[in-house]
Structure 1
Amino acid sequence: MEQDFLNQLKATDEIFEGWDFSYVSETGRIATSLLTWSYGSIVKSKMASATSMLDMGTGGGELLSYLRPYPQHIKATEGYQPNVSVAKNRLEPLGVTVLPFEEDHDLPLENEEFDLIINKHDSFDATEVNRILKSGGTFITQQVGGDDCREINEWFNVPVSYEGWNLEKAENQLKGAGLRVVTAKEEFPTQRFYDLGALLYYLKAIPWQLEGWKQEDHEDELYQMYLRMKKEGYIDVAQHRFLLICEKL
Structure 2
Amino acid sequence: MDQQFYNRMAQIIGWDFSQLHVQSYGERWDFFQEVEKLVKRTDKVLDIGTGDGSKLASFASDVEIIIGIDDSTEMIKQAKKKNDFHNIQFHVMNSKTLDFPNQSFDIVSCRHAPFVASEVERVLKPNGVFLTQQVSEGDKQNIVSIFQRGQHQCREKGHLLQRYMNQLTEAGFSNLYTDTYVATEYYQTAEDLLFLLQHTPIIPDFGQKKEDAQKFDRLVQDYQTTKGIQTNSERFLIVARK
TM-score range, shorter chain: 0.7 to 0.9
Q: Tell me, yes or no, if the aligned pair for 1:91 and 1:97 is still in contact at 8 Å.
A: no
Letter in 2 for 1:209: I
Unaligned runs of 5+ in 2: 1-8
Q: Compared with structure 1, are the counterparts of its residues 153 and 81 closer, same or farther at alpha carbon in structure 2 (3 Å cutoff)?
A: farther
Q: Tell me, yes or no, if the aligned pair for 2:50 and 2:68 is still in contact at 8 Å.
A: yes
State the shift of 1:242 in Å: 0.8
From the CA coordinates, give the structure whose radius of gyration is larger. 1
TM-score (norm 1): 0.82
Unaligned runs of 5+ in 1: 1-11
Summarize the alignment of residues 80-119 of structure 1 with structure 2, pairs less than 5 Å apart.
80-91=72-83, 93-102=85-94, 104-119=95-110
Equivalence for 1:179: 173
Q: Secondary structure at the match of 2:13?
A: coil
Residue by residue over 1:139-166, the C-alpha shift from the partner in whole angstroms, topping out at 9 and shown as x without a partner, is 1112112321122111112144463553
Work out the number of aligned pairs and report it: 229
User: Alignment identity in percent?
Assistant: 23
CA distance in 2, matches of 1:149, 1:241: 11
Summarize the alignment of residues 118-129 of structure 1 with structure 2, pairs less than 5 Å apart.
118-129=109-120
Summarize the alignment of residues 133-152 of structure 1 with structure 2, pairs less than 5 Å apart.
133-152=124-143
What RMSD in Å do the two structures reach over aligned CA positions? 2.5
Letter in 2 for 1:156: F
Q: Compared with structure 1, are the counterparts of its residues 107 and 51 closer, same or farther at alpha carbon in structure 2 (3 Å cutoff)?
A: same
Q: Secondary structure at the match of 1:69?
A: helix
CA distance in 1, matches of 2:30, 2:214: 39
Does residue 21 (structure 1) correspond to residue 17 (structure 2)? The answer is yes
Equivalence for 2:32: 40
Q: Secondary structure at the match of 1:53?
A: strand
Q: Compared with structure 1, are the counterparts of its residues 195 and 137 closer, same or farther at alpha carbon in structure 2 (3 Å cutoff)?
A: same
Q: Tell me, yes or no, if the aligned pair for 1:195 and 1:229 is still in contact at 8 Å.
A: no
Equivalence for 2:239: 245
Q: Secondary structure at the match of 1:60?
A: coil
State the shift of 1:115 in Å: 1.0
CA distance in 2, matches of 1:175, 1:228: 43
